[in-house]
Structures are given as structure tokens and as C-alpha cells.
Structure 1
Amino acid sequence: MSEQPQRNGGDLVIETLSALGAKTVFGIPGQHALGLFDALSRSNLEFVSSRVENNSAFAADGYSRATGEVGVLFLSTGPGALTSLAGLQEAYATGVPMVVVASQIPLDGLGARRKGMLHQLDDQKASAANVTKFQQTVHHASGIPSAIQDAWARAITVPMGPVWVEVPQDVLLAQVMVPPVQDALAEAYEHPPREELVREAINWLSDAQRPAIIAGGGVRRAGAQAELLAVAETLQAPVLSSPGGNGAFPWNHELSLQSWVEDRHATEVMEDADVLLVIGSALGEVTSNYFTMEPRGKMIQIDAEPRVLESNTPALGIRADAREALKFLDRDLKAAGFTSRASWHGRSPQQVVADTLEKIQERLDGQDLAKERKFMADIREAIPASMQTFWDMTIAAYWGWSCWDAKDGQFHSAQGAGGLGYGFPAAIGGAIGTGQRVLAVSGDGSSMYSIAELATAKQHQAPVTWLIVDDGGYGILREYMEGAFGKATATELARPDFVALAQSFGVPAREVAVDQIGAALTEALAEQGPNVIVVKTLLKMFAPTHL
């Protein structure tokens, strides 16, 4: 019998991930992780090497959002691990399933304070505790498969999110005698709603004359679009989608208030509801119109994360996956022979929606926003209906939160944690994961956080078109400060020639006028590999109330 080649702990990591269905890994090699990367060379996993660990985390996040699969991230010890944390905060805040495998110093250094040990932290996994669901250190190579399998199950269990497994250097290098991992099973734990809470919700909804719905990102993550549509149509309830929930409900449906969460007209409809059904949303800062929304009726809040229930507004809190909860509601409404009695002070819900959207457009018409509205409309027209888009924290994204019709694609932005630099690396992950062209949108300030990833996009020929809107500084902060104090401080930025910089990486780039963006995008989207479009313009935000 032929002798099997000697394997180590790193092989167990790779084999377990492969058995669980992983296809792609993001990260950067490191000294303590060399055993892990050596094992990677013996596998079929695709490795995407970013240039900064924070961007590796964003890329794994974008991969997961775009594909619906678990993102996998490999990190080195100490500085590498710490540099990833801002990216992981976004995944944690938005509920993106990821498995993070971080290396560690050798076992005999854990908990010690050895002078001069490279990359040493007092407690590395404690650093990740604020931005991951679960953290574990593996002390023996034989425990690696179980640890990663359990971590994967935690990542995909609602509320989904990133989990952290760290493996010391000597454990990764330890020789193992067990046969290769061929079968690994990780199943999500179910969180169905409690029956008595569903019954109470049905009682409230059965008596409602002005029901309304806020659909959050939890609806999209659960794949509950069909269930939401069924419940909304049964209730005859206007539906307002949060930025994270953009795409959860058909944009042009007669009950759709779209995503105008920052306009008081839409907020007022939610406040006037006698029963407000909030699904998969924490009613956070943006969705609550910066905590100005004050519902006057009863509120039912359904979320997989128990900590968000009633965190901002008293409600009948139901911990459940959005899809399961909506299935229960749809079942019980139909079983009860429910017939909608919706009447908004003598108006139909469809008329309320139409009137509200008309008021929102009239408000925009009364502001000097022709350039901004055309710019966003031109981008939307140029982008294929099925294309996924990734937006950084920039004024164009703030517009997108409210006005972007995701159509058949998906709208991804960094509003969960609000960190800069998300758009481009997340788009790289999405493009590599789907094999389809995607659009990234950044400002000049946020683009500098991820500019090094032009090398990653070029190396992997990622089909990403990157739109950089250059207004000479941190535009949204400039606008906030000028509005609050009459002047802006420390918002203006020296920046490079983005076109020349991109070209120096071998990435095609061009600068176009703001009114040429549609034609430029059409051309760029037809090209191969990455490319960059720069538009120098100052965009303004709309005012959500009368000026």
C-alpha cells in the first residue's frame, strides 16, 4: 500500500473548508500562517490576495453578499488581524456570513508576555469580539475540523455574521495522522417565531385599518421577497424599504414607497400607521430618519437578532428569521380568512403611496438638484437591470439609499457600520464570486482607502467598473459641517491624478464630464477586466424637509 504524503494542521483547515463548500478565499499571507498557505497550494481553492487586510475583509463580505455563499478570510497574526477589524465591523453590522481563520503565535506564547515575539497580542481574539459573532482558539490540530465546521454553522445561523477561528503557528505546522477530511456538514440552527407571538401579531393586524410595513436587510438576507409580497398584498399595506432592504419589495409596485427613508413624507406615513410591521430592520439611524420617526400606533418588530427588538421603539418583538416569520403570518392570515379593511382616512393605500411619492418628487423639484438627479438617473439607465452595485460612503450612495431601483440586481452599501473604503474591494469580491461585471461607486476620499486594490483587480482581472466621484474632499462631511457651523474644517484633500494612477497599475481609466457619465459607463461595461471612470463634480444632498 502506497504511503500517504505527510499532512499538517493547515491541510485540515483547507480540507474542511473545501468539504463545507468553500471555493474562494481572501486574505494576505503572514509569517505565522505559512503552514496554512502551504496547504492552500495543495488545494483547488482560489486565493485572492488583497493588498490591505481591511480590504480583504471587505472583499470577502462582497463575495458573500453577491453569491449568497459564506465568505472566507485568512489573516496573519497581530497587525494583520487587527487591520481587518473595520471591514469585519461592516459584515457584523450587516449580518454577512463569513468564516475568518487567523493565525496565532505558537502555543507556548499564548497568555505569556514574551519579549520580542513577533506580532504578539495579549489576547488576539478579544480584539475581534466586538466585530464577530464568535471567537475560538484551536489548541490541537485534531480539533481543527470540528472548530471550522461549528464556526461555519454559526456564521449561517441567523442572525448571520462573521465568526473567528484562530490557529497557532505550531498547530498549523503539526503533522497529522488522520485521513483527509472528505465530509463536513454545517447546518444553520432554525429560529421559527413563537406561536403565541404570531397569534398576537395576527390579532393586531386583523384589526388594523392603516397597516404599513418597513422591510429591512433581514428580508433580503433571508430570501423572503416572495413572502413579503404576499403579506403586503394581503394586508394592503404600503411598504417602505430601508437602504439595506432595497430590493426586498418591487420598486414600482402600487404599494411601494420605495426607499425614501430620509424624506419626512414617507416617515409620516409610517408614523400614521395604526399597526406598523417592521421586518428585518433595527430601525436604526437612517431607517428611522435619524431617530425622528415616532410611530403613533402599535408596532410589531420581527428580527433574527434579539438585541435589536424594541431597542429604539416599544413593540411586540418577535425573534425569528424574516422568511419563517412571514410564512407564518401569511399562513395564519389566510387561515383566518383575512380580508383587508385598509382605509387611510378615506383613501386607499395605493392612493396614499401615489400621493406620497408625488409629494417627494415635488419636494425635490423645489430644490436645486437637477444635476444630482440626472447623474443618478444616467447611472441607473446605463447599468444593466441584473448588475450588482457596490457603494461607498459617499454622497452618490446617500442618494442611492433613497432613489436607486435595484431592479433584478442587488444594491450593496456600507451603511451597516459606515466605514470608508468598502465599495471597490467589496465589488472585487462580488465580481470574482459571480464571474459577472459589477459597478463600484466611491468618492475621492473613500477611494484612497482602497486604491491599492487596483493591483488586486488587475492581478485577478476582476470585471469591476469603478466610478470615482471626485469633489476634492470628504463631501458629505463638508456638507454636514457647513450646514451645522457655516464652514467646514479638515474636509479638503490633496489627491492624486486618479486616471494616471489607475493607468500606472495597467488599469484603463478615463475622466469624463458629469453629463457624459451614461455614455462612459456604457463603454466601460463592455470592456474586459477592471476599469476606472473619474467624474470631477460637487454633488449636493437633498433636504428631507421643506427648506
Structure 2
Amino acid sequence: MTDENTTRIGGDLVVETLRSLGADTVFGLPGQHALGLFDALRRTPGLRLLGARVENNLAFAADGHARARLHADPHGPVPVTPMIVSTGPGALLTLSSLQESRAASVPVLGISSQIPAAGLGGGRHGYLHELPDQQASVAGVVKSVHQARTASQIPGAVRDAWVSAATAPYGPAWVEIPQDVLQAPVTLPPITAVPVRRDELAPLPDLLDEAVRLLSGARNPVLLAGGGVVRAGATAELTVLAEALRAPVLSTFGGKGSFPWEHPLSGREWLEDWHSTEFLAAADVLLVLGSGLGELSSNYHRLAPRGRVIQVEADAGKLESNHAGLGIHGDVRAVLTALGDRVPAREPDGRPETAAAELVERVHRRLDGQGLDLERTLLADVRAALPEGTPSFWDMTVLGYWAWSAWDSGGAPIHTAQGSGGLGYGLPGALGAAAATGGPVLAVSGDGGAMYGIAELATAVQHELDVTWLIIDDGGYGILREYLTGAFGRTHATELARPDFAALARSFGVPSIVSTVDTVGADLAAALRAPGPRVVVLSATLRMFAATGPAEEDPR
């Protein structure tokens, strides 16, 4: 790791441990207290360091990197992505992004420096970047917090945090190490092997028996696939069970891609539509897989199941937290495998396929009457522009809300920030994914969200990352404009001054084009074919669809 004339320091122990755990990429932004980490990275072959201009974007990039690797190999070792930042302001700036990783169960490992050990535990005060309790600041966001106060504690703390991030439910973990410990010479031998063991989250047999009994006796079973199905790489197992039960499958927004879009049993993902809400509620057995049935997945808590609910979750805290039922704490893939092996296969009679098709038709008929041709055509054009297998990363913009429901993610995996709903995810998430896959990757933002990450165009250029960024400029926070107008009849504080995005991109050395709704599909396709970063700007004001309510339910 270092030559014979170089003194190894605490930072080397961190980097050696990461390499031994399987890391090959680290996202990092230097700071005064973290210098020992970055000097160790400089001297370490085989570890790629990717930077960012702002720490929250660095954390979003780490999130995008981990998601892309999870999607590429869902059955391999869990691809924890390390991120290194400095004390105080640097650490705090990552928290809004790590909230997304926590909500979406993304395995990110945050490593931060800390003030010198003499300032901890009631010692000296007044250090630069000092927080009263940095661990407490982080603890409410991440899965677990670990600390090392001596060199000998470093390998174990990093390993424990890595295992925490990679254990279902996945999520961000955090390690902090004082500045002086990171920079002090060490006598420990180089770390070359870090054995880890992750126990499978096996479901209880008695609960599986009851789930088999309920599903076997159901007359109208329906499956709801959440993000846990995607994270567990359980899409094939989901299809096996659905086809055995002859059960329609709907997906949450986080569960997009868990079930084939065009499958005869697919009810798709219009969960903000009352037709879908009622379809789920009418099931005599509703099997919820890898979802906590939170606000978005339950149509803002309007879902009221009339039959039995079976909920499978790796996060025990979500079991029955919103709906009573049979809660099974376990890995979704293991549960689906067991159910698929044990639930008797039914003879097809065409009824569930007809029910799923009628649900999709009712949703489309509603949309047909709302004058939304622009939005539907634009989303279809963006989807058609993507080469096979190209992932996309979406900010909280109006077209992104459309994509939650209307995007066919088969062959074009989609990642959104709807876990926690923060702005600015699109570009940095896509940059992290491009670092993992080599690109191309599509990012989509509105003009409001774009300003959160505009500095990362410099990162895209510096690291030659193959990302095409579509910026939809409607002059403000478009979705908030709709919310305010809908709630109060007028809007306020949503209209924004903004730059000439195309000219600004060119100032970074990024080729850009101002597109139109008629040419955006071709412009995106051309940009995605070209290597390196590209920006496509589209001026358009889009509307959200209006979902039906209970009084408007179509009896057909």
C-alpha cells in the first residue's frame, strides 16, 4: 500500500480496510481534519477517488453509484459505496442526501473526520468545525454510527459500519475518527483481509405457514411490490409467485421494475389514482412485499384494505405500522422463494388478467379526458430516446412525478428521489451511476432543482462522466406552484430568476442545446450517443394529472 520509506498513518488503516472489504471507488471532498484520509488515498493503488463541489451532492453521487451497482448485480456482494468528508460543516451537508439513502435503503458508508481527541468527551473546546455532538447530529439520519478513538479501533469500526450498510434493510452507516488519530503514525501491520459475515434475515416458519394458508385460500389475491423487491433482486421470484397465484401485481414508485410492465398480470404503478387504490383495497388477500405502505404507496393514507393484509419487510419497524395484518420480518427474496415453492399453482381462467387490463384501461381513459397530450408525449419521447439498459435519475420535477407512474422501466431502470423527496438528486445521482457503469446515464431536473447541482457540471467534466442532463425550464418550482394553487387558489414564492442554462453549461465546457417539445426526443438520443457530459434544455410548462377520488370512481 505504501513504499518502505513512507510512514503509515491512521488514514492508511481506513483505506486498507475499505480495499479489503471490496471497495474500488471512494467519493470524497477534502477538508482540514480529513487530510490524513486523502493522503492515504493518494498513496493507494486500486482505489478511484471521485470528488464533487458540495458535500450534499457528493452523498447523492455515492447513492447513485450504489444504486447502479445494486441493479447491475442484485445477487452478488452488496455494493457498499464509501464517501469521505471532513468534520462539522462537511459532515452536516451530507445529511439531507443521506436521508434519501436511508429512506430508499441504499448502502452508503459515510466516513468523516472529527476534531482532535483532546476536544472530545469534555476536553478542550474551540476547535474549528467543532460540533457539540457530531455523532448525535448524524444518528437520527443513518442506520448506525461507529467511532474509532485509537488506531487499533479503526479496522473494526469501518468493518462494522460496512456490514451495517450491507445488511437488509440496506442503508447508510457512519464512522467518525479524530484528526490526530488519522494523521498519527501506526504500528499495526497493513490490513489485507477483513472477513465479514452477514446472516440471512430468515422468516419465521410459523408465519410462512400462515401466509401460505391465506394465499392458497384467497379468491382475489393481489400483490403490491415495493422497493424491497428491487433491492433484494427478487423480480424473478415475484413473477413466479404471481403466475402461480394468478394474482395481479401493482408496484409502488420505489418498486418500479420489479414486475414486467407488459405482463398480462401487471396493474402497473398508478398508485396516486383512486382506481388503483380501490383495486388494492378490494383484494381478499393483499400481499405487500418490501413496502411500509407509507404516504405515497397508500395514496396519502387513503388505502383501506377490506381483506387480509400480509406484509413482508426487512425493516421490522415498518411491520403493521400503517395497516394491521400478518407481518413477516424477513428478506423479501427468501420469503418469495418459499411462497413460490409452497403455494399451489392455479389453473388460468383469464379473470385476473382481465382485471389487470381493465384497471390500466380505466386509468388511461381518465387521462384521455384531461388534455394531457403534451405531458404524455414528452415522457414517451424521453423514454424512447434511451438506449437499452440506460439508467435515469430524476429530480423532484413535474415530469419526474409523471415518471413515477408512467415510466416503463424495463430496459431503462429509473431512480428517483421520492424516498425522502429532497431537491437536487438528478445530476449528482446520475454522475455516481456513470462512475459505476461507464455511462451513458440520463439525469432529469426542473430549473429549480437544477440550481442545487449546477456546480457538479465541473465534476462531470473533470472526471469525464458520460451523463446527459435534461433541464425542463418552467420558470420556477413547478410542482409547488401546482400544490399552492390547488390548495389556496394562487401561488407564492415559486417563481424564480434563473440563468441561461445552455450558455452556463458551455462555460463549463459542456456541449448544450436548447430543444423544443417537437425535437427533444431526437436531441436527447443524439446527446446520449455522444461521449461525455451533455446538457439539453427544454422550456415547457407541464401539468400534473388529476387523480380520481372515491366519489368519482368509475363503476366499470
1:8-19 aligned at under 5 Å gives the runs 8-19=9-20
Contact preservation (8 Å) 1:514, 1:535? yes
Equivalent residue, structure 2, for 1:429: 432
Aligned amino acid, residue 384 of structure 2:
E
Secondary structure of the equivalent of 2:518?
helix
Contact preservation (8 Å) 1:391, 1:442? yes
Q: Deviations over 1:302-328 (max 9, x none)?
A: 010011111111110001111011111
| Cα deviation, residue 114, structure 1 | 4.2
Equivalent residue, structure 2, for 1:537: 540
Q: How far apart, in 1, do the equivalents of 2:412 and 2:357 lie?
A: 25
Equivalent residue, structure 1, for 2:517: 514
Q: How far apart, in 1, do the equivalents of 2:124 and 2:538 lie?
A: 52
Q: How far apart, in 2, do the equivalents of 1:394 and 1:301 lie?
A: 31
Equivalent residue, structure 1, for 2:237: 227
2:56 is the counterpart of 1:22: no
User: Any unmatched runs of 5+ in structure 1?
Assistant: none
Equivalent residue, structure 1, for 2:33: 32
Secondary structure of the equivalent of 2:268?
coil
Q: How far apart, in 2, do the equivalents of 1:74 and 1:451 lie?
A: 21
| Cα deviation, residue 417, structure 1 | 0.4
1:353 to 353, 356, 360: 356
2:461 is the counterpart of 1:451: no
Equivalent residue, structure 2, for 1:77: 87
Contact preservation (8 Å) 2:386, 2:412? no
Q: How far apart, in 1, do the equivalents of 2:468 and 2:127 lie?
A: 42
Q: How far apart, in 2, do the equivalents of 1:290 and 1:516 lie?
A: 36
Aligned amino acid, residue 33 of structure 2:
H
Equivalent residue, structure 2, for 1:240: 250
2:155 is the counterpart of 1:152: no
Report the TM-score, using the length of structure 2 for normalisation.
Answer: 0.95
| Cα deviation, residue 503, structure 1 | 0.7
| Cα deviation, residue 408, structure 1 | 2.0
Aligned amino acid, residue 195 of structure 1:
P
Equivalent residue, structure 1, for 2:75: none
Contact preservation (8 Å) 1:209, 1:342? no
Equivalent residue, structure 1, for 2:193: 183
2:404 is the counterpart of 1:401: yes
Q: How far apart, in 2, do the equivalents of 1:12 and 1:182 lie?
A: 10
Q: How far apart, in 2, do the equivalents of 1:512 and 1:112 lie?
A: 59
Q: How far apart, in 2, do the equivalents of 1:4 and 1:187 lie?
A: 35
Q: How far apart, in 1, do the equivalents of 2:503 and 2:196 lie?
A: 47
Aligned amino acid, residue 207 of structure 2:
L
Equivalent residue, structure 2, for 1:390: 393
User: Any unmatched runs of 5+ in structure 2?
Assistant: 71-78
| Cα deviation, residue 3, structure 1 | 5.3
- Which stretch shifts more, 58-67 or 513-522? 513-522
1:55 to 32, 54, 57: 57
Secondary structure of the equivalent of 2:16?
helix
Q: How many residues align?
A: 539
Q: How far apart, in 1, do the equivalents of 2:124 and 2:190 lie?
A: 35
Q: How far apart, in 2, do the equivalents of 1:148 and 1:404 lie?
A: 38
Aligned amino acid, residue 346 of structure 2:
S
Equivalent residue, structure 2, for 1:297: 307
1:479-518 aligned at under 5 Å gives the runs 479-518=482-521
1:54-453 aligned at under 5 Å gives the runs 54-68=56-70, 69-112=79-122, 114-333=124-343, 338-340=344-346, 348-453=351-456
Q: How far apart, in 1, do the equivalents of 2:346 and 2:220 lie?
A: 10
Q: How far apart, in 1, do the equivalents of 2:486 and 2:412 lie?
A: 35
Q: How far apart, in 2, do the equivalents of 1:540 and 1:188 lie?
A: 46
Aligned amino acid, residue 93 of structure 1:
A
Aligned amino acid, residue 258 of structure 1:
R
Q: How far apart, in 2, do the equivalents of 1:259 and 1:113 lie?
A: 55
Contact preservation (8 Å) 2:224, 2:252? yes
| Cα deviation, residue 89, structure 1 | 0.3
Q: Deviations over 1:481-528 (max 9, x none)?
A: 111111001111111110111111111111111221101011101111
Contact preservation (8 Å) 1:439, 1:464? yes
Q: How far apart, in 1, do the equivalents of 2:40 and 2:276 lie?
A: 54
Contact preservation (8 Å) 2:87, 2:130? yes
Q: How far apart, in 2, do the equivalents of 1:111 and 1:252 lie?
A: 59
| Cα deviation, residue 71, structure 1 | 1.2
Contact preservation (8 Å) 2:119, 2:125? no
Secondary structure of the equivalent of 1:430?
helix
Aligned amino acid, residue 457 of structure 2:
L
| Cα deviation, residue 342, structure 1 | 8.3
Secondary structure of the equivalent of 1:167?
strand
Aligned amino acid, residue 340 of structure 1:
R
| Cα deviation, residue 285, structure 1 | 1.2
Equivalent residue, structure 1, for 2:527: 524
Aligned amino acid, residue 214 of structure 2:
W
Change (3 A) 1:306 1:277: same
- Which stretch shifts more, 183-192 or 402-411? 183-192
Equivalent residue, structure 1, for 2:42: 41
Contact preservation (8 Å) 1:204, 1:275? yes
| Cα deviation, residue 187, structure 1 | 3.1
Q: How far apart, in 1, do the equivalents of 2:377 and 2:412 lie?
A: 21
Q: How far apart, in 2, do the equivalents of 1:212 and 1:35 lie?
A: 54
Q: How far apart, in 1, do the equivalents of 2:296 and 2:6 lie?
A: 55
Q: How far apart, in 1, do the equivalents of 2:137 and 2:464 lie?
A: 34
Q: How far apart, in 1, do the equivalents of 2:223 and 2:152 lie?
A: 49
Q: How far apart, in 2, do the equivalents of 1:129 and 1:40 lie?
A: 26
Q: CA RMSD in A?
A: 1.4
Q: How far apart, in 1, do the equivalents of 2:186 and 2:125 lie?
A: 31
| Cα deviation, residue 410, structure 1 | 1.5
| Cα deviation, residue 413, structure 1 | 0.2
Contact preservation (8 Å) 1:111, 1:123? no
| Cα deviation, residue 239, structure 1 | 0.4
Contact preservation (8 Å) 2:118, 2:124? no
Q: How far apart, in 1, do the equivalents of 2:256 and 2:21 lie?
A: 30
Contact preservation (8 Å) 1:454, 1:505? yes
- Which stretch shifts more, 180-189 or 506-515? 180-189
Q: How far apart, in 2, do the equivalents of 1:113 and 1:418 lie?
A: 39
Q: How far apart, in 1, do the equivalents of 2:186 and 2:252 lie?
A: 49
Contact preservation (8 Å) 2:223, 2:287? yes
Contact preservation (8 Å) 1:208, 1:342? no
Secondary structure of the equivalent of 2:176?
strand
Secondary structure of the equivalent of 1:484?
helix
Q: How far apart, in 2, do the equivalents of 1:56 and 1:5 lie?
A: 30
